[in-house]
Amino acid sequence: MINLNGVQSVDKFIENALYDKKYGYYSKKNPFGKKGDFVTAPLISPLFSEMILIWVVSYWIHLGKPKKFSFVELGPGNGAFCETFCKTLEKFPQFKKSVKIYLLEKSERLIKIQKNLLKDKNVTWIKNFNQIKNGPALFFGNEFFDSIPIKQFHVKKSNIYEKFIHFKSGKFKEFLFKKTSKKTFKKLKDFGLIRNAGVIEYPQKGFKILEPVIKKINMLGGGILLIDYGYTKAQGNDTLQSIKSHKKNIFYKNIGEADITYLVNFQLLNKFLLNKKLFLNNLVSQNFFLRKLGIIERAEILSKKLSFKEKSDIYYRLERLLSEKKMGGLFKVLFAANNKTRFNLGFK
Ligand SMILES: C[S@@+](CC[C@H](N)C(=O)[O-])C[C@H]1O[C@@H](n2cnc3c(N)ncnc32)[C@H](O)[C@@H]1O
């Protein structure tokens, strides 16, 4: 069904494998948690989501406490982030009065799961950004951009070939490479992506999804905070990765049963956002960002009344979020805003 007879580009293939309404991974499975395929930061510890809320409230204060403020979560997964965000919001009654929370989710199945978890919370699901009328608007996505399909190109003898996947009778047959059009070549060149060898990865779809977000930011004021697994200097590697039951999977196997992501090229994403005239903070690691926001101090306060076992659990979870070799170093935090709203908390 996921066009398993025929040839499709890498991004089309991922789109179908993850988001086909009936057979796609995100339509069939709840991928999160121990029983699922992977765990994300909000599931590791609520302290992650608390720190993001602290950052958002500080941003709102920095903007002069606007009476109306939109917070839009992109790709809320199983809703865990938003649940903690809403719970912690109770501690900030003034901000609570001003903020309106929106969720943009593509998977109908995940929307159901989110609606169940957040049934008593004051949040609105949206299909596009037309409903967001009040600004400033802050968009937030954790592991959002890396879940949007990418295109892959291979460089051979200074020509650029797009990568396609050929399936026959439901089985993977081979990769095919087609010389890319002049238009695409120019686009890659303009972004400085053309190289002498290796693989070029280009998030065409991701950029398309960001277009209306940027429009809203330019219209209403505000910004976008993105946290993702990625790098700052392209090495020409193929970064596609697939995970099933917390183990590596070959991305064209177990279609619809395994997640597929890639490593975000932050240098490219920065260029794209700068071209759109947004102002960018310097990129920092998740470790840097969360520490600056006081995650350790918060854990210390929480730990005071806890047993040794409970303390160890908090420590173990923080270690996963902060360790340089794990999420702390591998995940990066990006903030882009319209230039009237410079805000450096967590970035310096
Ligand atoms: C890897 S999950 C991350 C979930 C969550 N943010 C977390 O940290 O646990 C990616 C999420 O983005 C959603 N998603 C992917 N593409 C989307 C799109 N174009 N519009 C809205 N949601 C999308 C997926 O369905 C999923 O909820």
The pLDDT, as a whole number, for residue 48 is 98
Cα distances from 27 to residues 16, 31, 107, in angstroms, run 11, 10, 6
pLDDT bracket for residue 56 (50, 70, 90): very high
pLDDT of 208 strictly over 70 = yes
pLDDT of 1 strictly over 60 = no
Distance 17 CA to ligand 1 centre (A): 14
Q: Report the atom number in ligand 1 closest to the C-alpha of 19.
A: 25
The pLDDT, as a whole number, for residue 340 is 64
Q: What is d(CA 34, CA 40) in angstroms, rounded to the nearest whole number?
A: 11
Judge whether 225 and 54 are in contact, CB under 8 Å: no
Q: What is d(CA 281, CA 278) in angstroms, rounded to the nearest whole number?
A: 10
Least confident of 100-114, 168-182, 263-277, 288-302: 168-182
pLDDT bracket for residue 34 (50, 70, 90): confident
Starting at the edge strand found earlier in the chain, the sheet holding 241-244 runs 247-249, 241-244, 259-261
Q: Report the atom number in ligand 1 closest to the C-alpha of 38.
A: 1
Mean pLDDT score across all residues of the chain: 94
Q: Are β-strands 6-9 and 159-168 bridged in parallel, bridged antiparallel, or unpaired?
A: antiparallel
Distance 117 CA to ligand 1 centre (A): 16
The arithmetic mean of pLDDT across residues 176-189, rounded, is: 94
| 215-240 pLDDT, tens digit each | 999 999 999 999 999 999 888 999 99
The ranges assigned to domains in the chain are 6-336
Say which residue, 96 or 157, is predicted with more confidence: 96
From 83, 144, 224, 321, the mutation candidate for ligand 1 (largest count of ligand atoms within 8 A of CB) is: 144
From 27, 51, 105, the mutation candidate for ligand 1 (largest count of ligand atoms within 8 A of CB) is: 105
Distance 74 CA to ligand 1 centre (A): 7
Distance 144 CA to ligand 1 centre (A): 5
pLDDT of 5 strictly over 80 = no
Distance 25 CA to ligand 1 centre (A): 12
- Percent of the chain clearing pLDDT 90 (strictly above): 84
The binding-site residues of ligand 1, defined as CB within 6 angstroms of any ligand atom, are: 26, 40, 42, 75-77, 81, 104-107, 110, 142-144, 147-148, 209
Judge whether 260 and 201 are in contact, CB under 8 Å: no
| 140-180 pLDDT, tens digit each | 999 999 999 999 999 988 789 999 999 988 889 999 999 99
The pLDDT, as a whole number, for residue 3 is 60
pLDDT of 85 strictly over 80 = yes
The pLDDT, as a whole number, for residue 35 is 81
Burial class from Cβ neighbours inside 10 Å (0-12, 13-18, 19+) for residue 74 reads buried
Q: Report the atom number in ligand 1 closest to the C-alpha of 73.
A: 6
Residues recorded for the chain:
348
Element housing 26 (H / E):
helix 25-28
Residue 234, both tokens: 């392209």
pLDDT of 7 strictly over 60 = yes
- Percent of the chain clearing pLDDT 70 (strictly above): 98
Q: What is d(CA 71, CA 139) in angstroms, rounded to the nearest whole number?
A: 6
Q: What is d(CA 231, CA 19) in angstroms, rounded to the nearest whole number?
A: 25
pLDDT bracket for residue 331 (50, 70, 90): very high
pLDDT of 2 strictly over 60 = no
pLDDT of 62 strictly over 60 = yes
Instruction: Report cis status (omega within 30 of 0) of the bond before 136.
Output: yes
Q: What is d(CA 56, CA 58) in angstroms, rounded to the nearest whole number?
A: 5
Q: Atom 12, ligand 1: which residue's CA is nearest?
A: 75
From 27, 34, 106, 150, the mutation candidate for ligand 1 (largest count of ligand atoms within 8 A of CB) is: 106
Distance 155 CA to ligand 1 centre (A): 31
Q: What is d(CA 336, CA 279) in angstroms, rounded to the nearest whole number?
A: 5
pLDDT of 23 strictly over 70 = yes
The pLDDT, as a whole number, for residue 122 is 96
Q: Atom 4, ligand 1: which residue's CA is nearest?
A: 77
From 146, 147, 207, 259, the mutation candidate for ligand 1 (largest count of ligand atoms within 8 A of CB) is: 147
CA dihedral (157, 161, 165, 168) positive or negative: negative
- Domain 6-336, architecture per CATH: 3-Layer(aba) Sandwich (3.40)
